[in-house]
Amino acid sequence: MYNEEDYLQLSGIQHFSFCRRQWALIHIEKQWAENPLTAEGQIVHSRAHDASATELRNGVLTVRALPIHSAVLGVSGECDAVEFIQSEDGISLHGREGLWTVRPVEYKRGRAKVGDCDRLQVAAQAMCLEEMFSCRIDSACLFYYETRRRETIAVGSELREQVEKMLTEMHKLYQDGYTPKVKPSKGCANCSLAETCLPDLMKPGDRSVADYIKEHMESV
Ligand code: SF4
């Protein structure tokens, strides 16, 4: 169990699974820079949070921008939306009649990704909600703005183990204040922190660090 002051930002899971160094630059070193992709992501989330009112439609109660946390995982954050679905297998909710199952919904720019970063983030949200509402959540949803598609994912044991393992590693790095070294990947081309991280310094080739700095200064 973690103390509240040691909670990490849940959304960091996505950064961490994309690149451990990017996560450390943002969450340990407090570096941030926007690029078109991050700006688009901010717009998507502000849109998702626009309808801040709770809505009940066809037996589904939707609550937007719900703060969440888990003392077991040591994280806190916010769900874009949480759907409470009327069901005999559900839990009771304060001020509402009947029983309800719980399902987080995360809104994303673009389309479904090859990697697991979005699935890990929404699975971690489901695990927080389980702890908060003392319930079991078997599925969660991702909505992609570009394709206008909603993907339902199973929150299975493999995904849960990945979330736990990743968060344990994140807590360790955070406590040690350690930023992992550059590991250039295809993702560097889309990384808003490339100017801070300087991944080109690690590329194999015949350029020396002095050559790189000279070239960079000339371009500036
Ligand atoms: S530039 Fe590449 S190595 Fe550096 S933080 Fe971004 S993704 Fe990670």
**CA-closest residue to ligand 1 atom 2:** 188
Q: How far apart are the first and last CA of the chain?
A: 48
- Gap from CA of 145 to ligand 1 centroid (Å): 25
Output the CA 209–ligand 1 centroid distance in Å. 18
| Residue 149 counted as domain residue | yes
What is the pLDDT at residue 57? 93
Ramachandran region, residue 103 (left: φ > 0; alpha: ψ -120 to 50; beta: rest): beta
Residue 214 lies in a domain: no
| φ, ψ (nearest 5 deg) of residue 151 | -110, 130
How many domains would you assign to the chain?
1
In a domain, 75, yes or no: yes
Assigned domain for 32 exists: yes
Q: What is the C-alpha to C-alpha distance for residues 40 and 42, in angstroms, rounded to an integer?
A: 5
Q: Which domain holds residue 51?
A: 4-182
Does the structure show a pLDDT above 90 at 129?
Answer: yes
Instruction: Say what the pLDDT of residue 32 is.
Output: 78
- Best probe residue, ligand 1, of 18, 21, 27 (max atoms within 8 Å of C-beta): 21
Residue 113 main-chain phi, psi, to 5 deg: -95, 160
55 is a domain residue? yes
pLDDT digits (tens, 9 = 90+) for 56-99: 999 999 999 999 999 999 999 999 999 999 999 999 999 999 99
Query: Taking residues 12-27, what's their average pLDDT?
Result: 94
Examine residue 34 and state whether it is found in any structural domain, yes or no: yes
| 187 found inside a domain | no
Q: Give the pLDDT of residue 125.
A: 98
> From residue 98, how far is each of 64, 90, 137 by CA, in Å?
21, 8, 18
Q: What are phi and psi of 10, to 5 degrees?
A: -60, -40
pLDDT tens by residue, 136-172: 999 999 999 889 899 999 999 999 999 999 999 999 9
Going by CA atoms, what residue is nearest to atom 7 of ligand 1? 188
**Looking at residue 65, which CATH number applies to its domain?**
3.90.320.10
Q: Which residue has the higher pLDDT, 163 or 185?
A: 163
Inside any domain, residue 208: no
